[in-house]
Each structure stands twice: as structure tokens, then as C-alpha cells.
Amino acid sequence: MRSTNPAAPSEVVTELPATTPRQAAEAVRAADAAWVDWAAATAGERARALHGAAQELAADAADLALLICREEGKTLGSARGEVAKTVEQFRLAAQLAFLVEGSTYPRESAGAASWTLRVPLGVVVAVTPWNFPISLAARKIAPALAAGNTVVFKPSPVTPAVGDRLAAACHRGGIPPEVLHVVQGDDPEAMQALVGAPEVRAVSFTGSDAVGAALRRTAAPGARLQLELGGHNAVLVCADADLPRAAREVAGGAFGLTGQVCTATDRVFVARHVLDEFTALLGEQAAKLTAGRGDDPGADVGPAATAAQRDRLTALLDSATAAGATVAGQAALAPDTDPDGHWVLPTVLTGVPADHPINTREIFGPLLSVLPVDDTDQAVTAINSATNRLVTAVHTTSLGTAGRFMHRARCGIVKVNERTTGNGVAPPFGGWGAASSGAFPEGGRGALDFVTDTKTVYCDYQES
């Protein structure tokens, strides 16, 4: 299995052996054999191992960021930010080890008491995407380990080296290898052996709607599922908004990370009264950007991560312009870039037909459609009609407008005067509708709900 630099596809980043179906099944069995001892470890022991992993990741931060830049394509600054967030995820998880708490209940009879315990599930499978190859993995792995579960981790086949380095740092930090296993590759049979194994108690997946649907069909019966899928995200810019600021935030949400993030802005609804002014500002923001190698200090955005991504997005842009859309602003390509790189330039589009795929489903790339609206109600109706309702945002100087929008928008995440991308490590993260499995958001203290079961205890403490 080979990974290459998307900015220079002839540059091989790593070659690693792909996991066979037999090896995947063996990894699950080994994790199942190890989980009882790991669950029996004290909270302090698990916390020390998670702190150790955080320390190893922090010490390796510079090299890890460069590896992410080379293997996934994002800019070095964004990669550094991702590594920093990963360190935070493990530090937070070390605290979570002490927060696996139950509840006590009032006595219902004399000499009796009842309470609950939170207990680990067992083997948790973490299947992660290429767009955040280390921080999204940490968001799944670290809380599961904190609660006393063992983990089998499957990185994306696009970014296998990053996944391998993450696991190695965890092992150096004190997380036993038998507690955290890694399987690699894109063999469907190996994937089936992994998620369909009877020992698997939970599967946490981030990725496409199609793979999420396949996981629902193939996961072991009774396995708990946590599926973070696509987001078709829209922003409303009101007539009273700070338009220059809104243009910066909307452009950042649409074009940062080359738009390859489930929280990226696909559509921006703009009050008709300020449509022309805002579109011009947005076009200027796009035109300021330069696409290039992630390790080029002059590059604002990197390439698409794969050739398939580049080809899909190029075809999408071509079909939109052929259908009558107009380019209102576009980034430039840095000089001396590899012509074989997976380049897709951040682009602002107006006049995209309402039924075009750019307006009806997730783009997952740096293409942004500008749409006029007559009022807030029209925008909210359109936002709420989307199938994948992950995140939305409103730009306004009116507290009343912001409040009404927050309450009416039917999305898992709502932002005010901010870009749609970016989230903290402590708040819950999850979408509504087809964007998520819904029951178990990721992130923060709430992450423990997915990786633990509730046990109720009744105790009669009267002496006979």
C-alpha cells in the first residue's frame, strides 16, 4: 500500500503492508482478550498513559505536521493546528478517565440503596477519514481508551503513514500495543472482517454517506454505531451584517482546508439588498488566495487530496458553468507547481441553477454558490430542507435575528458571525438528519456516553 503527495503525485510518502482479512480478525480478537485488564486499570493508570501519548505527540509535532502536509496536502499551518488539537484531545481524555461517573437514587425502602455504574463496552473500532487524519482519530480513540475500552484503529488508505505515527506515539506514551491496534488498507473483505467481527461492541466512523450506509449493513449485530457523515452547509448573510467581516468568514469556511471538510460552507444565502456588494467582497477574498504545495509559505490552500477528488470537483465546476453559472472570483495557482498535482482552485459562483448538485448536495471542495434571498424565513426554510444538516451560520448585527435563527435552524451546530468550520475539543460535535447517526455526538464529556454502558446496582445493606 502506497501513499503519495497530492501536490506532487510522483513523490511517494510511504509504503506499508495492507492488512489481510485474517489479520483484521486477529486484531479484533487480540483487542478483545486485552480489554478486561485495561478496564480493570485505575483511572489514574489510564490517565497517565493518555497524558504520555499527548506528550509524545507534542514532542513529535513538527515532523507530524510535515507528514500530514505531504500525505494529505493541507498547508503546513493547518497541519500544525491539527496536531495541536490532537494533543488537546488526549489531554482532555486523560481528564475523562476520572469522569466515568454513575448516579445515586433515593431510597425506596428501608436499608436499601441503588446507584448506577458506567462500564466500558469492550472492543471499539475507529474508522477515520483522510481530511483530518490525526485529530479525528484522536477524537474517537482517546475517549474510548479513557473509559477502559480497547480500540482497533483503521486509518484512511490515503493517509496510512499519519495513522501509523499516531499509534506509535500512543504506544511510546504508555498505551499498551494490545490495547490499541492498527489495521491498514482498503480491502473490502478486511473491512468486513473488522467491523463484522462478533467481538466488536461499537464502531465509530467518519466519512461518506455511502460508506456509512454500508457500515449499517455490515456491522456486527448489536454493535453500537456512531456515524458522522456528510454536511451540506449553508450560511445566511443579513442586510445588517458587517459585510467585510462576513466575507472573510464565509470565504474561510468555504475555502480553508481546500473545502475538504464536512463543516465547509457550500452555499451562502445573501439578503438581496446587499447581494451585489457582498458578492464582490467574496470574489475579492477568493482572488486573494493562492493554491500551492502545503509546505510552500506562499500557499493559502493546498491541493485536493486525491486524483478522484480533483476530477470530481473539476467536473462539478465545469457542469455548473455549462449550465449558466458565473465565476465571481477565483484563486490563483502558485508558480512552479507540479502540473500533475491535484489542483482545484477556490471559486465563487453565482447563478448556479437551483437543481444543480452544487446546490443540492455536499460539495466537499472549494466551490461556493451565492444565492439571493428576500428574508430570513426563506433562508431558514432552505437550510432546514437539506438532508445533511450538520452546521449553519448567520451573519448579523441584530441580537434578535441571531436568537431567532439559532432557535429555528434545524442543524446540529449553529454559529453566529463565525465561519462554519472549526470546533472545540470540549463541546459535542454531531449533525442532524442524514449528517449523523444522531444518538451519540462526538467530543468532550458526552463522548463517554457512546463508549460505556449503564449498570444499575441495588443493594440491601441491612444485617439479617
**Looking at the domain assignment, is residue 211 inside a domain?**
yes
Domain extent at residue 252: 233-416
Q: In angstroms, rounded to a whole number, what is the distance separating the alpha carbons of residues 153 and 156?
A: 10
Same domain for 296 and 199: no
Same domain for 123 and 59: yes
Q: What is the pLDDT of residue 109?
A: 86
DSSP secondary structure letter of residue 334: P
Q: What is the pLDDT of residue 108?
A: 87
What is the pTM for the complete model shown?
A: 0.95
| Residue ranges in the chain whose pLDDT is less than 70 | 438, 464
Q: In angstroms, rounded to a whole number, what is the distance separating the alpha carbons of residues 296 and 336?
A: 11
Q: What is the pLDDT of residue 145?
A: 98
Is 69 a residue of the active site? no
Q: What is the pLDDT of residue 436?
A: 87
Helix axes 243-255 and 275-287, enclosed angle (nearest 10):
50
- Which amino acid would we find at residue 148? G
Q: In angstroms, rounded to a whole number, what is the distance separating the alpha carbons of residues 182 and 159?
A: 13
Q: What is the pLDDT of residue 464?
A: 66
Q: In angstroms, rounded to a whole number, what is the distance separating the alpha carbons of residues 93 and 34?
A: 20
**Looking at the domain assignment, is residue 150 inside a domain?**
yes
Helices (H), ranges, 20-157: 21-40, 43-59, 61-72, 76-96, 135-146
Same domain for 198 and 244: no
Same domain for 277 and 398: yes
Q: Which residue has the cell 454558490?
A: 369
Q: Which residues pair with 2 in a beta bridge?
A: 15
The SS3 assignment for 87 reads: helix
Q: What is the pLDDT of residue 110?
A: 86
Catalytic residue among 69, 170, 238, 262: 262
The SS3 assignment for 237 reads: strand
Q: Which residues pair with 12 in a beta bridge?
A: 4
Q: If we measure between CA atoms, which residue out of 40, 50, 227, 51 comes closest to residue 144?
A: 50
Same domain for 37 and 160: yes
CA 251, 77, 430, 115 torsion-angle sign:
negative
